[in-house]
Amino acid sequence: MDYRLGSGDIVHVTVYDHPELLLETRVDEQGKIDFPLIGGVTVAGESASTAQRLIADALEKGGYIKKPQVNLIVKAYRSKQVSVLGQVNKPGKYPLESTSTISDLLAQAGGVTLEGADDLTLIRTQDGKSQRTRIDTQSLFQDGQVDLNHQVMGGDVIFVPRAAVFYIYGEVQKPGAFRLEKNMNVMQALSLGGGITQRGTQKGIQIRRQGAQGQPVVLKAALTDPVQEGDVVYVKESLF
């Protein structure tokens, strides 16, 4: 699918054997360019090849040049941009030069950082309403679910949040904060913490979690229990 011109784009136009008609200009807010001899030409919404033909037709119909050979190149894509924000290596605004997908934009932004989550949010505004679509990037890239690789549009925002973390402390080798992986259980969490020290005990493992009303909850944990975002896994010291 060819790129469609829009207001703000910078175009470079030449006419073969007529250097006096060379033009480099910006598509104005009305979607037009002001071309020598023929004046305003509406190019917004057109491909480069169609815009070339419109200029050539106008030059010929005006009696200026017989069978003109017009060439139009987009020098700067400014009308359609996508913002890539959050945990990517090069956050910013990126132009849509052609049909682009989420993976295309992530590649332009240098990929997701080590702190990035395994999902992202595509934010799109249509008819004045903001739509948010959550996309599992692991399913997209590792499982090859190409239907998740949405085509992006001008004005879209791709946001990659920071990965969820949990905390582990007490009698473990490496207490601290760790990235929460999918379907992680207490045993896997302990392995990230380097395992239990000689002074610790499996019998006294607790999970300290925020309850539904925001109150702290302390749970006795088995090794197969799931770990949730924000959990604190605490390993007690053995009394014997």
pLDDT at residue number 146: 85
pLDDT at residue number 1: 62
Looking at the DSSP bridge assignments, the partners of residue 25 are 11
* Tally of CA atoms within 13 A in the half-sphere of 42 that contains its CB: 2
Cβ atoms within 10 Å, residue 89: 13
Has this prediction a pTM greater than 0.75? no
CATH of domain 165-235: 3.10.560.10
Place domain 81-160 in its CATH homologous superfamily: Outer membrane lipoprotein wza domain like (3.10.560.10)
Per-residue pLDDT of the chain (240 residues; tens, 9 = 90+): 678 899 999 999 999 999 999 999 999 999 999 999 999 999 999 999 999 999 999 999 999 999 999 999 999 888 889 999 999 999 999 988 777 899 999 999 999 999 999 999 999 998 889 999 999 998 888 877 888 999 998 899 999 999 999 999 999 999 999 999 989 999 999 999 999 999 999 888 999 999 888 899 999 999 999 999 999 999 999 876
Q: Does domain 10-76 have CATH number 3.30.160.270?
A: no
pLDDT at residue number 122: 97
User: What are the boundaries of each domain within the chain?
Assistant: 10-76, 81-160, 165-235
Read off the tokens for 76. 């700067």
pLDDT at residue number 240: 63
Do 189 and 166 form a contact (C-beta atoms < 8 A)? yes
Domain 10-76 and domain 81-160, same fold? Reply is no
Distance of CA 203 to the CA centre of its chain: 44
